[in-house]
Amino acid sequence: MSKNSTCPVCGAPTQAATRPFCSQRCADIDLGRWFSGQYRIPGPPADEENLEKPERNDER
């Protein structure tokens, strides 16, 4: 990565401690976009019959 890289969220120069972002705030914004589904990795649609059902844990 070059020394003059820019933050993918806001375009500001990156900081070594938070690279590839300029700040922890922009890193958190990016993570939130992944969690909300704004970013997606392309691929074929999943076959719902082959998806594993999550196990329910009622023990507390």
Residue 33: CATH number of its domain: 3.30.50.10
Whether 17 maps to a domain, the answer reads: yes
Whether 2 maps to a domain, the answer reads: yes
Residue 1, pLDDT > 70, answer no
Residue 56, pLDDT > 80, answer no
Residue 2, pLDDT > 60, answer no
Instruction: Return the amino acid letter for 23.
Output: S
Mean pLDDT of 50-59: 74
Is residue 9 a contact partner of residue 18, using CB atoms and an 8 Å limit?
no
Token digits for 9? 């969220």
Closest-CA residue to 25 (of 40, 10, 44, 5): 10
This model's pTM is above 0.75: no
Whether 53 maps to a domain, the answer reads: no
* Residue ranges of the binding site: 7, 10, 22, 26
* Residue ranges of the binding site for Zn(2+): 7, 10, 22, 26
Q: What's the whole-number average pLDDT of the chain?
A: 87
Residue 18, pLDDT > 90, answer yes
Whether 48 maps to a domain, the answer reads: no
Whether 6 maps to a domain, the answer reads: yes
Instruction: Return the amino acid letter for 38.
Output: Q
- Domain extent at residue 1: 1-39
Q: How many domains does the chain have?
A: 1
Whether 47 maps to a domain, the answer reads: no
Residue 50, pLDDT > 90, answer no
Q: What are phi and psi of 45, to 5 degrees?
A: -60, 145
